Structure 1
Amino acid sequence: MTIEQRRNVYPTMVEAAKAAIDDFSIDIRMKSDDRDAPMPGSARKSETLIRLPEDSARIRISGTVKEGMPGE
């Protein structure tokens, strides 16, 4: 499959994956409230947490993003 074909894959995220990303994002924000936190949580970081699994699914030519896929 060519790069152009992979660009036309638009994966959807299953509910379990959405929940896992939400939980992880909330955890990051909670930890970033600490004064000694190395890096604050932001909306941009949250967007990245969504974009990375979608891009991973696109590379694998998968139509869905499922929870726990990269480490399987």
Structure 2
Amino acid sequence: MRVSKWGNSLAVRLPKALVEQLGLKEGGELNVVAVGNDTIAVETKEARRFRALDQLSKRKWTLPEDYKFDRDGANER
């Protein structure tokens, strides 16, 4: 892939096969993060959401037995 100038930013054009594999559409959003000095990782926002929910569900968080949720108290300003 080639990096091109797009306004004041740089852009990468995604090959059609990759777009189809990821199920991307125009206007879709991706997360791109640096993984080391010369590597990037790309994931769809939906995949990131599922990964985050999966990580949360693996934690066995419990509330104390005497915990009472007070909606009015939680919404006080």
Whether TM exceeds 0.5 here: the answer is no
Look at both structures and tell me which one has the larger radius of gyration over its CA atoms: 2
Compare relative contact order (CA 8 Å, sep 6+) and give the higher one, 1 or 2.
1
- The answer to which structure has the higher strand fraction is 2
- Normalised by the shorter chain, which TM-score bucket? under 0.3
Q: TM-score, normalised by structure 2?
A: 0.26
